[in-house]
Amino acid sequence: MSKPISNAAFKRFVADMTPEQQQDVVSRQLRVLPRMIMDEVAGPNKPKVIKFLESRLKQVRLMQSSLYANGKVV
């Protein structure tokens, strides 16, 4: 697996999108990330991968709060 982008780079990537696209990305990540975490925990247990996925989920939740409060990711 290649190295994923950092949370800061992911946030910049999403912030450059339109608010509708931001909402789509955030809702998709909120749907997919918990399942990815469960799959990693059930499969070959790689602590670094699980830690990264959990930190990405935390970042996406913060982005969702920003979307609700401001109408866009800031």
Given this model, what pLDDT does residue 3 score? 87
Helix axes 19-42, 7-15, angle to 10 degrees: 150
59-70: pLDDT as tens digits:
999 999 999 999
Given this model, what pLDDT does residue 16 score? 95
Given this model, what pLDDT does residue 45 score? 77
Given this model, what pLDDT does residue 1 score? 58
Assess if residue 21 is contained within a domain: yes
Is 14 in contact with 25 (CB distance < 8 Å)? Answer: yes
Q: Note the pTM of the prediction, 2 decimals.
A: 0.89
Assess if residue 1 is contained within a domain: no
Assess if residue 2 is contained within a domain: no
Given this model, what pLDDT does residue 44 score? 82
Number of domains in the chain: 1
User: Burial level of 26, CB count in 10 A (0-12/13-18/19+)?
Assistant: buried
Residues of the chain with confidence (pLDDT) below 50:
none
